[in-house]
Amino acid sequence: MNQFSVPASATRRSPLRVATTLIAASVVAAGAAVALASSADAATTLGASAAASGRYFGAAVAANKLSDSTYVGILNREFNSVTPENEMKIDATEPSQGQFSYTNADRIVSHAKAQGMQVRGHTLAWHSQQPGWMQNMSGTALRNAMLNHVTQVATHYRGQLSAWDVVNEAFADGSSGARRDSNLQRTGNDWIEAAFRAARAADPAAKLCYNDYNTDDWSHAKTQAVYTMVRDFKSRGVPIDCVGFQSHFNSNSPYPSNYRTTLSSFAALGVDVAITELDIEGSGTAQATSYRNVVTDCIAVPRCIGITVWGIRDTDSWRSSGTPLLFDGSGNKKAAYTAALDALNGAPPTNPTTPPTTPPTTPPTSPPTSPPTTPPTGGGCTASVTLNQWNGGFTAAIRVTAGSAAVNGWAVTLTLPSGATVTNTWNAVAGGSSGTVRFANASYNPRIPAGGNTEFGFQGTGTGPSATPSCAAS
């Protein structure tokens, strides 16, 4: 698994914040999002608030706006990740076949680096925004040109990007669950995995993502089709690390109430999830509520690693008439901004009186509706399993829920069917790999507030557990 650090930018304004970030980065490097909340620490910008739980808050950036001082002022103050809005697309980076052009993309990467921000690369293989020469190609020539493009561009940015959207928008809308027809698709159904393998070879450090829109609603055929592909990739060892949800919402495609289920279900496959192109058309309270819901859902899912909004001011948006962003055309914060920031700061309660030697906690998957009771007195816990089984393997997502008292540590024991082996565990420490296995809390997620919950998961070969797990709290 590739890891990247929380950038320092969002926390660079005080020694306290820098120290907090370093702790957060080291714990993230150990494999999970963390929460290091102190109300004085993370409350004032989107990036700093996201970094307090090991996440990032990013924006799509256009190179030609880097000379706009209002734009750059907001970018540098609020965000700790950037995605080039158009500058890394195929038509921008390879306008003539074999001739690569990185000037504008490099300007964005340089700006981000100078600010300590991370960069999401977008995108290596896509049916849209292809240069004319590629649009006119087909068959083996196109397949080879695509793979060369992936290799060249990923090599140029090797080691510099946190993630790549390797393939963008490869599935059809509607109820078919089919691949989108395109010149790339017509080169053979394996074009997506071929692109991922080429990207991994060229830049082993970048997380490799599949990115799409209209995949937010868990009940939609397109969502299920992408899920099935990712599950298949994971089972066959195709190098995929993350799934991006564009999340362009409007009245035709509103925020779905099962969004958190979508995020956590993909995460249970053993990939990170990210919200990659968020914008929500509307205004006022309704828009703010949708932003709050999206952010709350992300921070409730331990493997939701960050959120990127698709532009800074409403006037910067590709859908500017829908005023879908967090800042108005003058750069003022909108109600949606305050809702997003408040939601980020709701991630997760830590005990401010606890000395720093006590490990930080992970966010509960559903924030408790009331503050944690004090002091924690131990008490019971329960565990439930959501199993994704395929031929020869499975992932299990386990939700650990505290009873009426907070718990300061937990262990879940479950019995695997004969022949099953645990191959990978996240957010817990496995005490074995077959038979009856005890999963103890990781160092960073022992505490669950009364009535709250946390999630861990594991992947395995064979048949996943069907018996009810037991849970012991301390």
Query: Given its phi and psi angles, is residue 419 left (phi above 0), alpha (psi -120 to 50 degrees) or beta?
Result: left
Q: Which of 383, 435, 387, 450 is nearest to 411 (CA)?
A: 383
Among 277, 281, 314, 316, binds ligand XIL (CB under 6 A): 277
Assess whether 87 carries a catalytic annotation.
no
Taking alpha carbons only, the member of 344, 319, 302 closest to residue 213 is 319
**Token representation of residue 351:** 């005990």
The length of the chain is 474
Question: Smallest distance from the beta carbon of 210 to ligand XIL, in angstroms?
Answer: 12
Under the binding rule (CB under 6 A), the answer on residue 85 touching ligand XIL is: yes
Q: Is 87:63 a contact under the CB 8 Å cutoff?
A: yes
CB contact burial 109-130 (16+ within 10 A = b; e otherwise):
bebbeebbbbbbbbbbbbbeeb
Considering only CA atoms, which of 48, 72, 61, 47 is closest in space to residue 310?
Answer: 61
Which of the following is catalytic: 78, 94, 193, 277? 277
- Please say if 169 is a catalytic residue: yes
Instruction: Identify residues 197-236 at the interface with ligand XIL (CB under 6 A).
Output: none
Pick between residue 171 and residue 439 the one whose CB is nearest to ligand XIL: 171
Out of 169, 193, 281, 455, which one is annotated catalytic? 169
Which 240-269 residues touch ligand XIL, going by CB under 6 A? 246
Question: Rounded distance, CA 235 to CA 133, Å?
Answer: 36
Q: Which residue is nearest to ligand XIL (CB)?
A: 318
β partners of residue 56: 306
Could you say which residues in the range 143-182 bind ligand XIL, by CB under 6 A? Answer: 168
- Using CA atoms, how far residue 347 sits from 55, 298, 343, in Å, is 11, 10, 7
Minimum distance from CB of 249 to ligand XIL (Å)?
12
* Closer of 59 and 74 to ligand XIL (Cβ): 59
Measured CA to CA, the distance from residue 21 to residue 11 in angstroms comes to 7
Under the criterion CB under 6 A, does residue 86 sit at the interface with ligand XIL? yes
Asked whether position 318 contacts ligand XIL by CB under 6 A, the answer is yes
Tell me, by CB under 6 A, how many residues bind ligand XIL. Answer: 6
* Shortest distance, position 470 Cβ to ligand XIL, whole Å: 45
**Under the criterion CB under 6 A, does residue 350 sit at the interface with ligand XIL?**
no
57 vs 245, beta carbon nearer ligand XIL:
245
Query: Toward ligand XIL, which CB reaches closer, 125 or 137?
Result: 125
Helix (H) or strand (E) holding 110, with range, is helix 103-114
Q: Does 279 bind ligand XIL (CB under 6 A)?
A: no
Which CB sits closer to ligand XIL, 85 or 297?
Answer: 85
Which of 250/474 has CB closer to ligand XIL? 250
Active-site residue set: 169, 277
Residues that bind ligand XIL (CB under 6 A): 85-86, 168, 246, 277, 318
